[in-house]
Structure 1
């Protein structure tokens, strides 16, 4: 069994329920290609579940996307991820995990910072990553549900996300 320390993270000043989710444009990756898209492009078609995850290959990302895949959330809502990894790494993550989602790539962490979920990696000068977070965003870009990790490692409250999907989407 792998052992690791659980570390409390500083309080995050993140986007909250009832607020308007900031719009942004970044490459959106699927298993075949990527192209620049905005969040507004996606919410125009219906609600979006935006899942921020640490860099691809990190054990947290593996567990988060495995759980989301197993819960079939993509059957109910447009499932979109965001992280700092490159389009090539995102494509590999989607293929290896078998996830029916698309992932925004944000290597500069500017979008993560705008959402209040960027965090500096301990011991890695100049490296910023995503704090795990989940935002359910409706057609008007109003955040209907927000969860942001407060320790490392942390994982979404999956049952709470499903309750939010039941209230706002299903």
Structure 2
């Protein structure tokens, strides 16, 4: 039995396949430290899977990162997997250690990137607080979207097999 309510989200105006994704610079957190990095810098090194999740510790973020970790899409591939949420660098560092993740996470507490991508989601009962809805964008070296998935309901989870197919087709 589902112990939470599923609700439909309004349409989003996110970057679609073939369009250029917005570039941004935010703190990028790994197991050891964080520093400002831009999405375009990462993409210049090869394809990037940019995964938006709710704040660290929220069950959808935990499920998404567990699945991505278990699938190990970047093993043996020229692919960089990175995440983004409204969590702070300190929260990200703890989440990375707790989940045993090797993936860095962008920190965007004001949710500016979520708004720029057209995927912001106002949190119920938290006036003025928003986070990005779950989403995944596979980007090439010039930030052209090769695959896009954005949640249409809450909670919603990516089609991991479709992401894997898109990665294989690069």
Give TM-score scaled by structure 1 length: 0.96
In 2, Cα distance between the equivalents of 1:122 and 1:147?
23
In 2, Cα distance between the equivalents of 1:7 and 1:124?
17
User: CA contact under 8 A between 2:48 and 2:138: conserved in structure 1?
Assistant: yes
Q: Following superposition of structure 1 onto structure 2, how do residues 10-159 of structure 1 map, counting pairs within 5 Å?
A: 10-75=10-75, 76=77, 77-159=79-161
Deviations 1:110-165 (A, max 9, x none): 11111111110122211101100000000111000000000000111100000000
- Secondary structure class of the residue paired with 1:73: coil
- CA positional deviation for 1:37: 0.6
Deviations 1:38-93 (A, max 9, x none): 01110110000000000001000000000000000232310100000000111111
Give TM-score scaled by structure 2 length: 0.96
- Secondary structure class of the residue paired with 2:74: helix
Q: Which runs of 4+ in 1 moved over 2 A?
A: none
- Secondary structure class of the residue paired with 2:148: strand
User: CA contact under 8 A between 1:121 and 1:127: conserved in structure 2?
Assistant: yes
- Secondary structure class of the residue paired with 2:83: strand
Q: Which runs of 5+ in 2 are unaligned?
A: none
Q: Which runs of 5+ in 1 are unaligned?
A: none
- Secondary structure class of the residue paired with 1:21: coil
Give the superposed CA RMSD: 1.0
Q: How many equivalent pairs are there?
A: 168
